[in-house]
Amino acid sequence: MTASAHDRTDVYTRVTNRIRADLEKGVRPWIKPWDAGHAAGRITRPLRATGQPYRGINTVMLWMTAMERGYASPFWLSYRQAQGLGGQVRRGERGTLVVYAGTVSRPEPNEEGEDSEHEIHFLKGYTVFNAEQVDGLPEHFRAHVPEPKEPMLRLEAAERFFAATGADIRTGGTRAYYAIGSDHIQMPPYETFRDAESFAATLGHETVHWTRHPSRLDRDLGRKRWGDEGHAAEELVAEIGSAFLCADLGITPEVREDHAAYIASWLEVLRNDTRVIVSAAAHAQRAVDYLHALQPPVRPAA
């Protein structure tokens, strides 16, 4: 195995082991950020030094660290970024792993012996620190996160978001699910949910499933029947995608009653393939991006 291949495998393994450690305790790491005290009480994406939100698996990894260590700041910086802003990471502080995925093209001989470009995917790990681990940063890194909108306004915005997708959402029965054959989302009556946020979070989960239809993202993870590894992988995508949506819409995710069975199936998948969690988070991010792209353009304020 080449050094680069070893490094790539090691990063996948490190990410997977962190996720598995929580799942083995019965905890879904992408749900943790909605515990009290996180990010000054606001649901938010982790932010780069520039204010740009992190995406994909990095969102989950940084949420996990924020909860474990009690960080309220959403900002994360590399050691060099902190120094460039006049800050200094405090002695003894532990950094957090984040990853960068990309591709490089390299010439390789084809069957005729001629060089042709071959695309190689890679995953690199690097370390970031929360703004609370750094002294001397500009004041805006320490500013309190603004209070979110009133719950009713957030829920009204979520309703408009789901309506704008154009998904066929039907009401009735006792189960929430997406039927790919008829291409519709089935939701139990609104009144049967614990609260409005639980309804919205569950609808977010099913709407992420809705994006896998061949006419949309055409996501096929090898599912052949209920309960197989392809099914477990698709459920991972919907779970993580729903958490991303909840953060974007400011609503609290639903903890499903059947979570123990799902956790067992996810652990089985992660034991068999260390790349699954990174792939699932990437698929979840693409699904959320797709749903955001269906929204009407925001009109500038008069």
CA-wise closest residue to 18 among 236, 232, 277: 277
Q: What is the pLDDT of residue 203?
A: 95
276-293 and 3-24 helices, crossing angle to 10°: 80
| Percentage of the residues of the chain whose pLDDT score is greater than 70 | 85
Task: Tell me if 146 is assigned to some domain.
Answer: no
**In this structure, are 110 and 172 located in the same domain?**
no
**In this structure, are 108 and 175 located in the same domain?**
no
pTM recorded for the entire structure: 0.87
**In this structure, are 226 and 264 located in the same domain?**
yes
Mean pLDDT on 45-70: 93
Band of pLDDT at residue 10, cut at 50, 70 and 90: confident
Q: What is the pLDDT of residue 224?
A: 79
Q: What is the pLDDT of residue 256?
A: 62
**In this structure, are 157 and 193 located in the same domain?**
yes
What domain count does the chain have? Answer: 2
The string of pLDDT tens digits covering residues 240-293 is: 999 999 999 988 776 666 667 889 999 999 999 999 999 999 999 999 999 999
**In this structure, are 279 and 215 located in the same domain?**
yes
Chosen domain end from 90, 110, 141: 141
| Percentage of the residues of the chain whose pLDDT score is greater than 90 | 62
Mean pLDDT on 130-150: 81
Chosen domain end from 106, 141, 176: 141
Task: Tell me if 298 is assigned to some domain.
Answer: no
For residues 284 and 45, give the distance between their C-alpha atoms in angstroms, rounded to a whole number. Answer: 14
Contact between 275 and 19 under an 8 Å Cβ cutoff? The reply is no
Mean pLDDT on 70-93: 95
Question: Mean pLDDT of all residues in the chain?
Answer: 86
**In this structure, are 119 and 186 located in the same domain?**
no
Q: pLDDT at residue 31 above 50?
A: yes
24-38, 73-87, 142-156: which has the highest mean pLDDT?
Answer: 73-87
Q: Which domain holds residue 76?
A: 3-141
Q: Which residues contact 206 (CB under 8 A, 6 or more apart)?
A: 176, 177, 178, 185, 186, 187, 238
At position 276, the amino acid (one-letter code) is V
For residues 38 and 289, give the distance between their C-alpha atoms in angstroms, rounded to a whole number. Answer: 24
Mean pLDDT on 165-174: 97
**In this structure, are 43 and 114 located in the same domain?**
yes
Contact between 21 and 68 under an 8 Å Cβ cutoff? The reply is no
**Residue 40: both structure tokens together:** 């000054």
Task: Tell me if 301 is assigned to some domain.
Answer: no
Chosen domain end from 86, 116, 141: 141
Q: pLDDT at residue 48 above 70?
A: yes
Q: pLDDT at residue 201 above 80?
A: yes
